[in-house]
Amino acid sequence: MYKILGKVFDKIRFFDQMIRAKSLIKKYSLPKSVEIKYGLLEVTGDFKCEPFCKFLYNINIHANAPVRIGRFSVINGPNTDIYASQNSVIIGSFCSIARNVSIQESNHDINNFTTSLFEKRMPNNKKSKLISKGGIEIGNDVWIGAQCVILSGARIGHGAVIAANSVVTGYIPPYAIVGGTPAKIIKYRFHKEKIDKLLKSEWWAHIDEKNYEEYSNFFNNNSGL
């Protein structure tokens, strides 16, 4: 009996999530190729993503300022949050973002009388209690590991890898592998000559929803590098 009820509830939940996903795609005029699976994508505000983005499990996007995600990027949940309060959050194409990642464009003001946001409830209080060091820019082909925190003003170069449990507060060079709190360079993915060649090629700019199948050899064999 309990097994039967469990299966019924699973089916109800599945169809509910599917209906919500279709409604979200329609509301934000997202490309039909966008996939939302195994959970909910909760979105408020100014959000756009390009074709073939994939959102897995439960993800929250709060876009009081613009949030943009490039094509073929995959955002994994659960508990992955993207907050853009005052400045934009830009995520490039072909990015991979793991579960429990927090991309946080603003934060509490430690120089204020109190770090609590209670004052926002006070009448005639128009001053924001959140501060920001600027927008967040994540390049193309970036991999962000589980439980990372990306803070305001962060600039992550193309091809970089952020190790799990890291905190990024500033600039990360292209193709660097970084880790720690704050994140520091561990090594680079490739030698300088290969990095320069990859950056010059800008391969991520040439692959889109119409021609991606033509690049199968490029991905499988690193041809052209």
Residues acting as catalytic residues: 108
- Dihedral over Cα of 198, 199, 200, 203: its sign: positive
Q: Report how far residue 29's alpha carbon sits from residue 98's, in angstroms, rounded to the nearest whole number.
A: 25
CA atoms within 13 A on the CB side of 197: 9
Cis peptide before 182 (omega within 30 of 0): yes
DSSP assigned state of 184: E
Q: Report how far residue 133's alpha carbon sits from residue 135's, in angstroms, rounded to the nearest whole number.
A: 7
Phi-psi region of 100 (alpha: psi -120 to 50; beta: other; left: phi over 0): left
Instruction: Please report, as a single letter, which amino acid is at residue 99.
Output: R
